[in-house]
Amino acid sequence: MAVASRKNPGAIAYLQALPMAAVFGIFFILPICLVVVVSFFDYQTYDVLIPDFVYFNYQDVFTSDVTYRTYLATLKYCIITWAITLVVGFTIAHFLAFYLRTVPVQLVCFLICTIPFWTSNIIRMISWIPFLGRNGLVNDVLLGLGLVNEPQEWLLFSEFAVILGYVHLYTLFMIVPIFNSMVRIDKALIEAAKDQGASSLQILRNVVIPLSKPGIAIGSIFVVAIVMGDFLTVTVLGGGQIPSVGKTIQTELSYLQFPPAAANAVVLLGITILMIFALIRIVDIRKEL
Amino acid sequence: MKVDRPPYFALMVTIFVAFVIFLYTPIFTIMLLSFQGPGGGLTFPMRGVSLHWFQDLFGPQSIGDMWGAFRRSFALGLIVMVCTVVISLTAGLAYRRGFIGSTMLLYVSIASLIMPSVVVSLGIGAGLELAGIPRHWYSSGVGAHLTWTLPFGLLIMFAVFNRFDPAYEQAARDQGASGWQTIRYVIIPIILPSLIGVALFSFTLSYDEVARSSQAIGAVNTLPLELLAMQTNATTPVIYALGTLTTGLSFLVIGITLVVFVWLRRRQQRHGSDAGNA
């Protein structure tokens, strides 16, 4: 093996990778390991972290009805959001990739879709209030058209509002990777399918969808991971009524109950990893860039 | 003349336009409502037009320390931006040379990207609590934000270097350039537009970040955390005024970045292809 010296270019590579490795080591790997360790700690009101090896944090998680209801609710939002963002994201990506002729037009439309991502998520959640509230625009229209007799209360601070918020905020995470997969599809393949007499539905099903799978997988991973751990959208648009695992952890944290929060976080992490494990195996993400 | 349109062209255009309306209408609505008259509420109708709520935002009785929060968020965004650009670039260069553990580092950064933010936040908070280290936005806050911005930076670097012709570096080396000179005078100028993209990404991601920093920021709030606190008891359009300002700033940053990006690309094309242009 070559000696690490100034003549060996390999040493420079390690030096160049070091800052990133250090940041992830200190602020990501170590904290995640600590979450696992702390989940076995004891705690009291004035001594929030007592090193110990106890199981009752997990017992509390697994023996409580509230836990199961919370996880089921989170899972439900996750699946509904995933289904909607997938259909909408796929459709928009398909439009961007195949319906626009020139690259500048494609670029502008793509930018229009991505710009909101660079603005504040909380503001984007709050901006639904004038629409969905008791005196909001939607109720005005419904009352005006005579479709309902009284203002609808289920529009804001409800499951509906939370899922709407997710779709509004996170469809982009589907659009970008699916679009990225679609623009790599060789147009000749589609031409060939057409020449062989395939209908547009057949082309979609047998050519476009299979070749977009990596993008679909990456987008799905993003959406699943974000929704499973979310506490912001449920806080702002759920109005305190909507259960979510992320919210539970955040509430425990606000009372400085680190060990039970950590036990919940480990369970959440386990479920999230299981959900995306299959998706990660289908695709080598590095090749997709 | 028959125009060869893809099937269902009109339908797809309609869907796209509807999606864009869905995406933008709420934010433009609150921008409009932030100019409510003094008697106006959180919803329509507009009761006059005024700058009342903007004045309210900066008035002495405004809720919380808005200016302080804004200054902190802006400074934090700039620090995170510089760190992300430098660290992503050096890591990107390391991947060009190749090193043992490179696949591991990639998986770690992807894990960091998709890890539920609340778990990262909890881990950092517990670690600082255990070690008895005080939390500050400029120390632990920066670290927490980097776990969110660096994966994006690294992935953009992959995309950039996958398309980067190694002949440029070889040519520089053949002309006797040192490693540093090659980076400084060849690689950085060529990938500058992408580096600006990384800068924009990391600044805006940091400027709007809440979930990861909530346990790492310390006693004083950043702007998004202030917004979150404000939102729970917002009864007046003053929160819309804040939303208008911060969204306006985001649009400004995006606009400037796009202009610089396009300008650099144009300049590169002009200067890069002057062979044969007498």
Q: What pLDDT shows up at residue B98?
A: 87
Highest mean pLDDT among B38-42, B51-55, B71-75, B263-267: B71-75
**Alpha carbon distances (Å) from A163 to A41, A80, B224:** 35, 8, 21
Which member of A15, A119, A229 has the closest CB to residue B117?
Answer: A229
Q: What pLDDT shows up at residue B3?
A: 54
CB contact under 8 A, A24 and B254: no
Q: What number is the average pLDDT over the span B13-39?
A: 90
CB contact under 8 A, B127 and A30: yes
- If one compares A173 and B49, the residue with the highest pLDDT of the two is A173
Q: Which residue of B has its CA nearest to A264?
A: B119
Name the stretches of chain A with pLDDT < 50: 1-7
Mutation target vs B (from A37, A100, A118; most B CBs, 10 A cutoff)? A118
Q: Which residue of B has its CA nearest to A164?
A: B22
CB contact under 8 A, A24 and B97: no
pLDDT tens, A57-66? Answer: 888 888 888 8
Q: Is the pLDDT of residue B274 over 60?
A: no
CB contact under 8 A, A16 and B91: yes
CB contact under 8 A, A120 and B122: no
Q: Which residue of B has its CA nearest to A114?
A: B23
* Chain A residues whose beta carbon lies within 8 Å of the beta carbon of residue B211: 229, 231-232
* Chain A residues whose beta carbon lies within 8 Å of the beta carbon of residue B243: 120, 123, 126-127
Specify the long-range contacts of residues B192-197, CB closer than 8 Å, at least 24 apart: B192/B264, B193/B261, B193/B264, B193/B265, B193/B268, B194/B156, B194/B157, B194/B159, B194/B160, B195/B85, B195/B89, B196/B257, B196/B260, B196/B261, B196/B264, B197/B156, B197/B257, B197/B261
* Chain A residues whose beta carbon lies within 8 Å of the beta carbon of residue B80: none
pLDDT tens, A237-262? Answer: 988 778 899 999 988 888 888 899 99
Q: How many CB pairs under 8 A join A and B?
A: 264
Q: Is the pLDDT of residue B89 over 90?
A: yes
CB contact under 8 A, A258 and B123: no
CB contact under 8 A, A120 and B250: yes
Residue with tokens 């020139």: A102
Specify the long-range contacts of residues A142-147, CB closer than 8 Å, at least 24 apart: none
Structural tokens at position A233: 């959208």
Q: Which residue of B has its CA nearest to A255?
A: B215
Contact between B76 and B208 (Cβ < 8 Å): no
This prediction's pTM: 0.88
Q: What number is the average pLDDT over the span B162-167?
A: 86
ipTM of the complex: 0.87
